Structure 1
Amino acid sequence: MFAIRQLIKNIPELTDLLFNKKLAHLISEFYESEYFLTKAIYFDKPSTSNWFVAYHQDLSISVDKKADVVNYKNWTYKKGQYGVHPPIKILQDTITARIHLDDTDKNNGALKVIPKSHLQGIVRTESNDWDIKTEHICEIKKGGAMLMKPLTLHASNRTTSNKRRRVIHLEFNKHKLSNPLNWSEYWNEQINIKDSI
């Protein structure tokens, strides 16, 4: 899979295109607060992709430095970026928006989710605390968007249709991190939900 991480830092011209009233209105249907961007990634799953991603939760956030802070654990450092598992409240209040640049279905790696699994908090994926029978495949048309919680169990299959799957993955939050940590991709223009309604 090809990816451009820190997308807005690398291509700031995308901000006006992405952060419009349509996106703010979409978020406003579920949340009544002001959110700011904390992560932006461009994913390109090629048409010849022959791997799958097993069920997991997104437990890590990107921060600007490593520090010994209570309730921040499981530190990583990849490609010049620090990652850490924050307090669960931060994960619970994260909104993920996935904007699809291609038609996406079960044959080219559409996301599979276990509905309401985010309500269980952090789940050990090797356990049997979730029911695969409730699995839902999120088939999205080109130009469409989906919202999800990072604690929702999700996965994707191998591509079998020779069609690529390009997605812009955006994460939003409303919390400041514990001092001295800061969001590494903080974009200081809030998604103003009230003004979009």
Structure 2
Amino acid sequence: MQIAEQIREHGFAIVEDVLLPFQVEALIDAVSTEAMPEALRGGVRNLMDVIPEVRTLAESEAMRALVAPVLGNRFAVVRAILFDKTPDANWKVPWHQDVTIAVRERIECEGYGPWSLKTDVLHVQPPAEILEQMISVRLHLDPCPASNGALKVIPGSHRSGKLSTAETEKLTMQPPVICEAPQGSALLMRPLLLHASSPSTSPHHRRVIHLDYAAVELPCGLEWRETQTLTSWANR
């Protein structure tokens, strides 16, 4: 089954060897806790502001090759986040959908809300049709077996739009798929796919660079925080 077909049907796909060993090593050096302020350890929401190498990666031909079959030839990276689980920064993530986007400024628009501020980054919940034109790419800088906090997902749950609490509880009664992923691999997933993760029981890092891509402009003068214009990759 092709990657785009897997994502359409199941909401996710794992692609191995997306990053070469030297790229993994360089990114680990760039996002190492020694290179960032203490307050940023465990996670960084505005990652492309902090680590310029991440923007270069997000806009690279390798990422285009992953994203274009899913979103088409006109899209842009709209958010980058670092997650770093360690014995000192470990957490459980309950079942949820990713339903917020990062924007430049608050402009009231029908169907958009509530609003929130996360680490000085403005976020808002858009209508489901916006989220349905997005894909997330989670790049694994460390081996990610089940013991190291691998993501758990409910296949096909992305096809039902935004889910109520009752709908989420019903869907998560079924056995999840654990997305174990080797170092250098990518997990592609739709934002509306139900997912969760357990605390890591490993003494090692679980570093993930999470990139969001969108193939849709925002209405009412709203702008994605990381980009103002979608790129036509077919012309590059």
Among residues 39, 43, 50, which one is paired with 1:3 in the alignment? Answer: 43
**Residues 1:191 and 1:171: Cα distance change in structure 2 (over 3 Å):** farther
Contact 1:110 1:139 in 2 (8 A): yes
SS at match of 1:107: helix
Q: What's the TM-score once normalised by structure 1's chain length?
A: 0.89
1:24 alignment partner, one of 64, 68, 80:
64
Distance verdict in 2 for CA 1:135–1:182, change over 3 Å: same
Specify whether residues 148 and 191 from structure 1 end up closer, same or farther in structure 2 by C-alpha distance, changes over 3 A only.
Answer: farther
Q: Provide the C-alpha distance between the structure 2 equivalents of 1:114 and 1:191, rounded to a whole number of angstroms.
A: 32
CA gap of 1:43–1:182, structure 2 versus 1, over 3 A, is same
By percentage of residues, which structure has more helix?
A: 2
Instruction: Please give the residue correspondences for 1:99-118 in structure 2 after superposition, counting only pairs within 5 Å.
Output: 99-118=139-158
Would you tell me which structure has more strand in proportion to its own residues? 1
How many percent of aligned residue pairs carry the same amino acid? Answer: 36
Is residue 94–residue 172 contact of structure 1 (8 Å, CA) maintained in 2?
Answer: yes
Q: Which residue in 1 is equivalent to 2:112?
A: 72
Q: Distance between the aligned counterparts of 1:105 and 1:112, measured in 2? A: 11
The alignment status of 1:15 with 2:55, answered yes or no, reads: yes
1:130 aligned residue: 171
Report deviation, 1:126. Answer: 4.5
Deviation at 1:47, TM superposition (A): 3.5
Q: Shift in Å at residue 9 of structure 1? A: 2.0
Q: Over aligned residue pairs, what C-alpha RMSD do you find?
A: 2.1
Does 97-106 or 19-28 show the bigger shift?
Answer: 19-28
Q: Map Cα deviations across residues 144-188 of structure 1 (whole Å, 9 max, x no partner).
A: 101000100000001112222000000010211112211112275
Matches within 5 A, 1:58-69: 58-69=98-109
Alpha-carbon spacing, 1:78–1:51, altered in 2? closer, same or farther (3 Å): closer
The one-letter code matched in structure 1 to 2:221 is P
User: Do 1:94 and 1:150's aligned partners in 2 also have CA atoms closer than 8 Å?
Assistant: yes
Other-structure match for 1:145: 186
Q: Which residue of 2 aligns with 1:186?
A: 227
1:169 to 210, 219, 229: 210
What SS is found at the alignment partner of 2:212? strand
Q: Which structure 1 segments of 5+ residues have no match?
A: none
Once the two structures are TM-superposed, the CA of residue 130 in structure 1 deviates from its matched residue by 0.8
2:197 is aligned to: 156
Aligned to 1:98: 138
Task: Indicate conservation of the 8 Å contact 1:56/1:125, yes or no.
Answer: no
Matches within 5 A, 1:79-94: 79-94=119-134
8 Å contact from structure 2 (residues 100, 126) kept in 1: yes
Counterpart of 2:80 in structure 1 is: 40
Q: Which runs of 5+ in 2 are unaligned?
A: 1-40
| Number of corresponding residues | 195
Q: Hey, what's the Cα distance between the residues in 1 that align with 2:144 and 2:232?
A: 26
